[in-house]
Chain A
Amino acid sequence: MSVRDREIAIEVRNLWKTYVLYHHIVTSFKEVVLHFPRLFKKLRQSRFEVLKDVSFEVRKGEVFGIMGHNGAGKSTLLALIAGVIKPDRGTIKVKGRISPLLELGAGFHPELTGRENIILNGLLLGLTKREIMQRFDKIVEFSELGHFIEEPIRIYSSGMVARLGFSVAVHTDPDILLVDEVLAVGDANFQQKCLRKMEELRNNGVTMVFVSHSRAQMEAICDRIMTIDHGRVVSIEEINRHAEKKTC
């Protein structure tokens, strides 16, 4: 069965998102008091359109890549899919449970240990403590952190944090996995391990939205790649993975 015929996991329709740059508005208390009318003008000027009329859909079990230069709106788009922010206009329909936004330092507290962060992270993802403990050993094993799991996250290298973040996210049985540049750090071995894990998840029908700078990495794993520029969709291209599948 081709991916095309499967049901839709994520449906994004005519999405608009504008950020108000709050910290640009209130620069000082003096300004608030003395230039109150000007403040309203400034409020309008300090708006920044991140996403303009974005539409696409992702099928169940598909790996969907999002490309674009810095500030193109990739991360905002992921945050919208994750539901942590709301769109101004347009709709997002998501079927199934979403993993956290995987970024550097994903949702971890630096002062807590790896163990405590796994539990906290799992809870924030919607698992009960019992459900987390059932997966605990697997998470630690996959992250390859060993005894560091009892140390506070602040002493971890960025690669170690990324490993733990990835491990928690993939072991919480999400229906949809959102991955933002997370594979940019960590050594080549672990990157390969992550890609293999993602392949395994894909075969289990997990939908993935993947953001990366590396075109090569994307082509290795994605079914389709969407390019956005200044908040607009430029293209959605199909990747013929099987034709050039040699590295994995």
Chain B
Amino acid sequence: MISLTTRQWEYYRDLIFELTNKELKLKYKSSMLGFVWSLLLPFSHALVYFIAFKYILRIKVENYALFLIVGLFVWQWFANSILAGTGAVLSNGNLIKKTKFPYEFLVIAVIISEWLHFILAFVTIFIFLGVYGIPPNTYWVFIPFLMVVQSIMNTGSAFLVASVTVFFRDMVWFINIFLNMFFYLTPIIYPIEMIPDRLRIFIVDANPMALFVALYRQIIIHGTFSYEYFLLAILYSVVIFLFGWWVFAKLKWKFAEVL
């Protein structure tokens, strides 16, 4: 495999650090609440769904608030990575046209920036656990692995949209519609058990996001873990990553010409 010298390690570390730093700075420039906004969004959704589903549609799910928070945070991480991915290459045209550097790092920087947001959001979940009086369980050790696997999927998806958007600007619109449909077709605001059996294969088994949301909930709320779902999630994530990476590698040579 590729062996890196100490200087190269130092270089790539610096490059990732500075690009991520730039992402975070630009995201919150002249915003007073800054990072708090990225927490308020899923919380406001959670509040609305809670009122609509708990009190109006009378859904029967125990710990529904926690159920929503976990699902929405996991979803938000994925959706934000994709949305940030659409601009990863496009908004850096200035840099790409003037210098030759590994453009992949532009995508990796937005992925790390979104990952940091997710980690901080995740901390608030523990506040809910305290409120509900749910003690920690041994399955929590799987949470970091789950995050790694989802990061792989998020990265692959971001590579895909980052490169395709350069050539097909309408992609941004398409992604908004896609994410909206995908959100309601993924068991986030309703439990898997409510899905009719004949639809489950499409809505759960063929949907990596459904698997991730289910796995986080199993661990945090129920103290269980489905190895079957986990392996399936790894499989999907690796396939999505390789596909996204491949598309990006094919298209990156044309970035400077089109931007």
Residues of A within 8 A of B (CB): 19, 22, 26, 29, 79, 82-86, 98, 100-101, 103, 105-109, 111-112, 116, 119-121, 123-130
Q: How far is the CB of A84 from chain B (nearest CB, A)?
A: 4
Contacts of B10 in A (CB 8 A): 128-130
Q: How many A-B residue pairs have CB under 8 A?
A: 79
Whether A111 contacts B95 in the complex (CB less than 8 A), given A22-B167, A120-B22, A128-B11, comes out as no
Q: How far is the CB of B238 from chain A (nearest CB, A)?
A: 29
Q: How far is the CA of A112 from the CA of B26 in the complex (A)?
A: 8
Contacts of B92 in A (CB 8 A): 109
Q: Considering the complex of A and B, which 5 residue pairs feature the smallest CB-CB distances, nearest first? A: A107-B98, A84-B256, A129-B14, A83-B100, A124-B99
Contacts of B99 in A (CB 8 A): 82, 84, 100-101, 107, 121, 124-125
5 contacting pairs across A/B (C-beta < 8 A): A112-B25, A124-B101, A128-B14, A129-B14, A129-B18
B15 contacts A84, CB within 8 Å?
no
Q: How far is the CA of A148 from the CA of B253 in the complex (A)?
A: 36
Contact of B14 among A26, A82, A109, A123 (CB under 8 A): A123
Contacts of B94 in A (CB 8 A): 105, 107-109
Q: Is the interface of B mostly helix, strand, loop or mixed?
A: helix
Q: How far is the CB of A61 from chain B (nearest CB, A)?
A: 23
Contacts of A103 in B (CB 8 A): 98
Whether A85 contacts B256 in the complex (CB less than 8 A), given A112-B22, A120-B22, comes out as yes
Contacts of A105 in B (CB 8 A): 94
Q: How far is the CA of A100 from the CA of B253 in the complex (A)?
A: 17
Q: Does B257 contact A (CB under 8 A)?
A: yes
For the complex with contacts A26-B168, A84-B256, A109-B95, 15 further pairs of A-B residues with Cβ separation under 8 Å are A19-B257, A82-B99, A85-B256, A100-B99, A101-B97, A107-B99, A108-B94, A109-B22, A109-B94, A111-B25, A112-B26, A119-B18, A121-B99, A128-B10, A129-B17
Contacts of A111 in B (CB 8 A): 25-26, 29
Residues of B within 8 A of A (CB): 7, 10-11, 14-15, 17-19, 22, 25-26, 29, 92, 94-101, 167-168, 170, 253, 256-258
Q: How far is the CA of A95 from the CA of B211 in the complex (A)?
A: 51
Contacts of A86 in B (CB 8 A): 253
Q: How far is the CB of A124 from chain B (nearest CB, A)?
A: 4
Q: How far is the CA of A86 from the CA of B200 in the complex (A)?
A: 47
Contacts of A130 in B (CB 8 A): 10
A82 contacts B22, CB within 8 Å?
no
Chain A residue with the shortest CB-CB distance to B14 = A129
Chain A residue with the shortest CB-CB distance to B16 = A123
Contacts of A127 in B (CB 8 A): 11
Q: How far is the CA of A98 from the CA of B11 in the complex (A)?
A: 17
Q: How far is the CA of A103 from the CA of B94 in the complex (A)?
A: 11
Q: How far is the CB of B40 from chain A (nearest CB, A)?
A: 23
Whether A82 contacts B95 in the complex (CB less than 8 A), given A22-B258, A109-B22, comes out as no
Q: How far is the CB of A67 from chain B (nearest CB, A)?
A: 22
Q: How far is the CB of B165 from chain A (nearest CB, A)?
A: 13
Q: How far is the CB of A210 from chain B (nearest CB, A)?
A: 16
Chain B residue with the shortest CB-CB distance to A79 = B256
Whether A116 contacts B98 in the complex (CB less than 8 A), given A22-B167, A79-B256, A85-B257, comes out as no
Contacts of B96 in A (CB 8 A): 84
B25 contacts A123, CB within 8 Å?
no
Whether A84 contacts B100 in the complex (CB less than 8 A), given A112-B22, A116-B22, A128-B14, comes out as yes
